[in-house]
Amino acid sequence: MTDQEIERIALGFCARTLSKQEWTHRAHFSTALWLMLRRPDVAPERDMPEMIRAYNESVGGVNSDSAGYHETITVASLKAARAVLAGLPGGISPAEAFAALMRSPMADKDWLFVHWSRERLMSADARRAWVEPDLKPLPWT
């Protein structure tokens, strides 16, 4: 993914104009990295929950105990993105950061199931609030 592609996705997400079909696993991570690198006015850990909820609603989705925004997945993914960035040189581009993340275990959309059982991660509790992993601790905590 190029810097231009990442910026287009991230800006589309922020403006709530990105199509629902484009809001993929890769788009989530590229947007998080772009925000971390290019938007010092946005604190992803603070702002992403509401941004994701608003985006979901803008494409006809709902945020409930069974669909839409998921706190544990969001927090874990942001921690993963921060961990990848911490291991990279300063001044890196979003595309370079994204490529590094895609070389990591997080490239697999099911990476969270190494740390959480499906039942625990997909629970309403995990959607509403952070739930600690029950299988294997995250390496960045």
Four-CA torsion 60, 42, 1, 87, nearest 10 degrees: -130
- pLDDT 10s digit of each residue in the chain, 141 long? 999 999 999 999 999 999 999 999 999 999 999 999 999 999 999 999 999 999 999 999 999 999 999 999 999 999 999 999 999 999 999 999 999 999 999 999 999 999 999 999 999 999 999 999 999 999 986
Pure H helices in 1-141: 3-15, 25-38, 44-58, 71-86, 94-102, 118-121, 124-128
* Whether the model pTM is above 0.85: yes
Contact 78, 48 (CB under 8 A): yes
